[in-house]
C-alpha cells in the first residue's frame, strides 16, 4: 500500500453551518485524507473568534484574524484584542470586492489599507480577497507596502494578474475553481506559477472541486485540487503535495514545525 500523501489546506471556514457533519467531523475526515495542517480564516469579529476557538482545541489547526471586504463597514476595532493569541498566524481575509459591493468602496479601501499596515507592523502574513478589483488591489498594496508574506487567496486571475502578483513576491493560492469548466485563465495561471509560489486551499464549504460540485466542500478535498494541478502541470502528485506543504509553512511561519 502506498504512503498517504500529506497536504495543507491554507484557507477554509470549517465553523460555517454549511459544513456537513460539523467542524469536528470535517477535521477528522481531513486528517484521514492526509491533511496535516489546516488554517481557518476569519472574516469578521465573530468568525475570527470561532477560528481561534477551533485552533485552540486542535493542535493541527491555526487561525487568521480578518475583516472581509463585505464586512469592512463594521470596522476592525473588535478584532484587535485577538491579535496577540498564539495561534493567530495571519491577517485576513481582507481586500476588495467590487462585484458585490456589500461595503462602500472607500470603506473597503480604508479597511484593506489598515489590515496591510497591521500585517506589516506585526510581521504577519496577509491573506487577500480580490474580486473585480485587481488594479485597485495592486495600487493599495504598493502604496502601503507589500507584506513579506502575501497570499492571494482563491486566485481567480489569469497569467497577467499572476505575473503582477509574483512581481510583488506574493503566493498564489488555488482552490476548486481551477477544476471548473470555464476557468481557463485560472488554469493558465496555475500552469505558469513557479512551484515555490504555489499554495492550495479549499475555501470550504465553498467552491467544491469537480467532480464533487453540488455538495458542500470540506478540507479533505484539498487533495483533489492538488491532484488536478499536478495533472495540469504534468508533474507527479507527490511533487505538488511536498512543495505546496513546504510553501504553506514558509507563507505562514506560525504553522511550521
User: Could you give the C-alpha distances from 241 to 34, 196, 217, 223, 227, in angstroms and in order?
Assistant: 10, 12, 19, 8, 8
Question: Left, alpha or beta for 207 (phi > 0: left; psi -120 to 50: alpha)?
Answer: left
153-165 burial: b if 16+ Cβ within 10 Å, else e: bbbbbbbebbebb
31-53 burial: b if 16+ Cβ within 10 Å, else e: eebbbbbbbbbbbbbebbbbbbe
Closest by CA to 11, choosing from 37, 29, 31, 34, is 37
**Helix pair 237-251, 222-233: axis angle to 10 deg:** 120
User: Could you give the C-alpha distances from 16 to 29, 42, 88, 101, 113, in angstroms and in order?
Assistant: 16, 11, 19, 22, 27
Structural domain 7-224+241-255, CATH architecture: Alpha-Beta Barrel (3.20)
pLDDT number for residue 53: 98
pLDDT number for residue 6: 97
Residue that is written with C-alpha cell 502574513 in the block: 125
As a three-state string, the secondary structure of the chain is CCCCCCEEEEEECCCCCCCCCCHHHHHHHHHHCCEEEEEECCCCHHHHHHHHHHHHHCCCEEEEECCCHHHHHHCCHHHHHHCCCCCEEEEEEEEEECCCCCCCHHHHHHHHHHHHHHHHHHCCCEEEEEECCHHHHHHHHHHHCCCCCEEECCCCCCHHHHHHHHHCCCEEEECHHHHCCCCHHHHHHHHHCCHHHEEECCCCCCCCCCCCCCCCCCHHHHHHHHHHHHHHHCCCHHHHHHHHHHHHHHHCHHHCC
pLDDT number for residue 220: 98
Q: What is the pTM of this model?
A: 0.97
CB 35 within 8 A of CB 220: yes
Ranges under pLDDT 50 in the chain: 1-2
- C-alpha cell belonging to residue 89: 498566524
pLDDT tens track for 114-159: 999 999 999 999 999 999 999 999 999 999 999 999 999 999 999 9
Question: CA-to-CA distance for 211 and 132, rounded, in angstroms?
Answer: 27
Residue that is written with C-alpha cell 513546504 in the block: 246
Amino acid at each position: 500500500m502506498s504512503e498517504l500523501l500529506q497536504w495543507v489546506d491554507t484557507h477554509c471556514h470549517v465553523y460555517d453551518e454549511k459544513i456537513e457533519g460539523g467542524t469536528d467531523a470535517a477535521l477528522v475526515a481531513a486528517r484521514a485524507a492526509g491533511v496535516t495542517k489546516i488554517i481557518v480564516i476569519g472574516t469578521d469579529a465573530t468568525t475570527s473568534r470561532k477560528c481561534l476557538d477551533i485552533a485552540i482545541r486542535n493542535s493541527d489547526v491555526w487561525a487568521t484574524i480578518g475583516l472581509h471586504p463585505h464586512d469592512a463597514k463594521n470596522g476592525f476595532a473588535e478584532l484587535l484584542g485577538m491579535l496577540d493569541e498564539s495561534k493567530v498566524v495571519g491577517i485576513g481575509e481582507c481586500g476588495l470586492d467590487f462585484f458585490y459591493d456589500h461595503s462602500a468602496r472607500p470603506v473597503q479601501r480604508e479597511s484593506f489599507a489598515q489590515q496591510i499596515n497591521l500585517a506589516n507592523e506585526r510581521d504577519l502574513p496577509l491573506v487577500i480577497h480580490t474580486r473585480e478589483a485587481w488594479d485597485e488591489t495592486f495600487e493599495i498594496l504598493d502604496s502601503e507596502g507589500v507584506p513579506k508574506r502575501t497570499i492571494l487567496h482563491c486566485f481567480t486571475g489569469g497569467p497577467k494578474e499572476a505575473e503582477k502578483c509574483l512581481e510583488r513576491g506574493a503566493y498564489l493560492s488555488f482552490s476548486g475553481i481551477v477544476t471548473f469548466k470555464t476557468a481557463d485563465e485560472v488554469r493558465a495561471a496555475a500552469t505558469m506559477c513557479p512551484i515555490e509560489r504555489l499554495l492550495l486551499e479549499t475555501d470550504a464549504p465553498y467552491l467544491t472541486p469537480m467532480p464533487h460540485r453540488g455538495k458542500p466542500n470540506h478540507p479533505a478535498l484539498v487533495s483533489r485540487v492538488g491532484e488536478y494541478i499536478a495533472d495540469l502541470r504534468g508533474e507527479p502528485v507527490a511533487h505538488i503535495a511536498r512543495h505546496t506543504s513546504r510553501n504553506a509553512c514558509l507563507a505562514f511561519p506560525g504553522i511550521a514545525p
